[in-house]
Amino acid sequence: MPLLDVIDLKTYFRTDDGVVHAVDGVSFQVEKGQTLAIVGESGSGKSVTCMTIMGLNDRRNTTSEGQALFKDRDLLQLPPDEMRKVRGSEISMIFQDPMTSLNPVYTIGSQLREAVMLHENVSKQVANRRALEMLKAVAIPRAETRLDDYPHQFSGGMRQRVMIAMALINNPDLLIADEPTTALDVTTQAQILKLMNQLRRDFDSAIILVTHDLGVVAETADDVLVMYAAKAAEVGTYEDLFYRPEHPYTWGLLNSLPRLAAEGADLKPIPGTPPSLLRPPSGCRFHLRCPYVFEPCIPEVPELLPVTDDDPDHRVACHLAHDFREREAHDLLHDLMAEQR
């Protein structure tokens, strides 16, 4: 049984302009100790999916449907106070911008202690010891002296380490990381990803990693969910997505990766922009930008179905015939490999 089983998750925001279907029927699973990467453009519903699982959307203007089964409980049905107890102890979350994610008026030590003391009835001394251990675990130099420092005395990378320490301090089963490296420079990015990989092993936590960076996916993910315009386009293992991609949008993502080796090669973006989620397009939501669009794409919404009968976990939502997709993917990867050489 998976650790987290999300079934047909929908999240709607009521706005002055109408109802935004920010997540529109997404299903996926996270296995214990594994990393699931959620990939997609800005506004594809990645972050909202995570916020819904965490129960952090603004209740006043948000409606959520579907199920998020976590250790025999449906997180969406938990009363607010029960959900509060889950947050930070069984599921924790880190965010994109470490510069603003820590409260500027409290010391790091006080914020780490708070995370412990919100969930366990321990003394300040015990909480302080745990805080110190965690700072050491995330490799903050001279951790003893830094507990009494304020967030503004830390660099961006160090602050993200503190956030990770805070998220893991209660040894959660699941860590949701919403673009944890996007705001960091490339070398710091690599360090943080390495740290997360290592901590996942040490703490045996599962990770949901939201990113728009396929490089990050390649370094960390076991499974990948590709989202486009609030829906799942393709789900599969890391190998499925990188070696047997089936959805034209996934191809577009792979093809748009910047290449170092190819001399004079331009960036190859996917033409067009993501559709409005206030009035999403009919049929397949990618049809406006898809180079392979044909008749059924416009009226009919493609279902997320297994690619082949013997591999039920690799699923794709596309009307194109499997044989055709296989050939196209093969050609694309062949070209990409050729360019790399």
Partner 1 sequence: MIRYVIRRLLWACVLFLAITVLTFVMFFVIPVNPAAMVAGKAATPQEIAHVEHLLYLDQPVWKQYLHYLQQLFVHHSLGYSYGTRQSVNSIIGRAAPITASVVIGGAILWMMVAVPVGIYSALRPRSKGDRVAMVSVLAGISAHPVWIGYMLSLIVGYELGLLPIQGYCNLRGASPGQTCGGPIDWFTHMILPWITFAILYSAFYVRMIRSSVMETLNEDYVRTARAKGASERRVITRHVLRNAMLPVVTMLGMDIAVALGGAVFVELVFGFPGLGGTAIQAVNQFDLPTISGTVIFASIMVIMFNLIVDLLYAWIDPRIRLT
Q: Do 42 and 228 meet the contact criterion of CB atoms below 8 Å apart?
A: no
What would the two tokens of residue 186 be? 């490339």
Q: How far apart are CA 78 and CA 101, in angstroms?
A: 26
If the CB atoms of residues 107 and 255 are measured against partner 1, the closer one turns out to be: 107
Which residue(s) pair with 308 in the sheet? 311
CB of 84 or CB of 259, closer to partner 1: 84
**Beta carbon nearer to partner 1, 98 or 236:** 98
Between 41 and 149, name the residue whose CB sits nearer to partner 1.
149
The residue among 96 and 250 lying less far from partner 1, judged by its C-beta, is 96
Residue pair 235/36 in contact by the 8 Å Cβ criterion:
no
- Per-residue tokens: 316: 């794709």
Q: Which is nearer to partner 1, 49 or 250 (CB)?
A: 49
CA angle, corner 266, sides to 262 and 268, nearest 5? 105
What residue ranges bind partner 1 (CB under 8 A)?
A: 54, 56, 81, 84-89, 92-93, 95, 97, 100-105, 107, 114-115, 118-119, 150, 152, 163, 166
Q: Which residues contact 214 (CB under 8 A, 6 or more apart)?
A: 39, 253, 254, 257
Q: Which is nearer to partner 1, 62 or 255 (CB)?
A: 62
Residues 103 and 156 sit within 8 Å (Cβ to Cβ): no
Structure tokens at 8: 């047909």
Report the nearest approach of partner 1 to the CB of residue 236 (Å).
29
Q: How far is the CB of 57 from partner 1 (least distance, A)?
A: 11
Q: Dihedral of CA 113/114/118/124: which sign?
A: positive
CA–CA gap between residue 144 and residue 341 (Å, rounded): 49
Q: How far apart are CA 317 and CA 286, in angstroms?
A: 10
Tokens of 71: 């250790």
Phi, psi of 190 (to 5 degrees): -60, -40
